[in-house]
Amino acid sequence: MTTSGTTSFDLNLIEIVEEAFERAGAQLRTGNDFRSARRSLNLLASEWANKGLNLWTVTEATLSLVAGTSSYDLPSDCIDVIEHSLRTGTGQSQVDYNLERVGVGTWQSLANKNQTGRPLQLFVERQIAPSVNIWPVPDQSYTLVYWYLRRIQDAGATGTLTLDVPHRFLPALVAGLAYHVALKKSAMVPEIMQRITLLKSIYDEQFQLAADEDRDRSSLWIAPYTGS
């Protein structure tokens, strides 16, 4: 038996929309239908960011810390910082130090926020424009090395674009969009109302399957604490 020998299957934006409309029992007829579906896809991307850690959106970055400055802007696509360390030196003399992340309560309780020295803690302000605060205030130049969860890229306006989603999440993406399309179309096509519950259950199942697979497979070691 001869197989294709290829593993490049993917769906572009218009193919995803067409598949979702077919599942919903509707037809993609107008440009407004396409724009509506694209808007739903962007909302799905925001929903997925709330559901958990999507590994393909984990991104490494560095931030140059300068003496006397404690607050720094993070990338505009940053949702949250998940790992971080303080780096000194380069090449063979490079050393990474642990930084403790603290919450707003601990940050507010610091008696002297202007104290200088080698940074030990950071506080991430998750505002619309995210930023990070460093303490003690750097006494010299350092490098903050961090991994952050970024936003999924927008669906875009061109139907031939490939979405910023790995192939393993395509079934969940199509199922989620079909559910959203059915919600919108049910008012105009009453027959679609009967599909909504089924489409929602399929979406939940497909997303859970993808989320369970999208995990870190490194070894986990657990040791009992024997201190007093």
Chain segment 178-204, per-residue pLDDT in tens: 999 999 998 888 889 999 999 999 999
Could you tell me if 75 and 116 lie in one domain?
yes
Could you tell me if 62 and 143 lie in one domain?
yes
Determine the structural domain holding residue 33 and report its residue range. 13-53+153-213
pLDDT in tens, 118-171: 999 999 999 999 999 999 999 999 999 999 999 999 998 888 889 999 999 999
Mean pLDDT of 59-84: 97
Could you tell me if 185 and 158 lie in one domain?
yes
Burial of residue 11, with CB atoms counted within 10 A of its CB: 0-12 exposed, 13-18 middle, 19 or more buried: middle
Could you tell me if 26 and 97 lie in one domain?
no
Could you tell me if 164 and 185 lie in one domain?
yes
**In a domain? residue 222:** no
Query: What is the number of domains present in the chain?
Result: 2
Could you tell me if 134 and 75 lie in one domain?
yes
Could you tell me if 62 and 123 lie in one domain?
yes
Mean pLDDT of 75-98: 95
Q: Using pLDDT thresholds of 50, 70 and 90, give the confidence band for residue 97.
A: very high
Could you tell me if 73 and 122 lie in one domain?
yes
**In a domain? residue 185:** yes
**In a domain? residue 81:** yes
C-beta of residue 79 within 8 angstroms of C-beta of residue 49: yes
Mean pLDDT of 13-19: 95
What is the dihedral sign for C-alpha 125, 126, 127, 132? Answer: positive
**In a domain? residue 8:** no
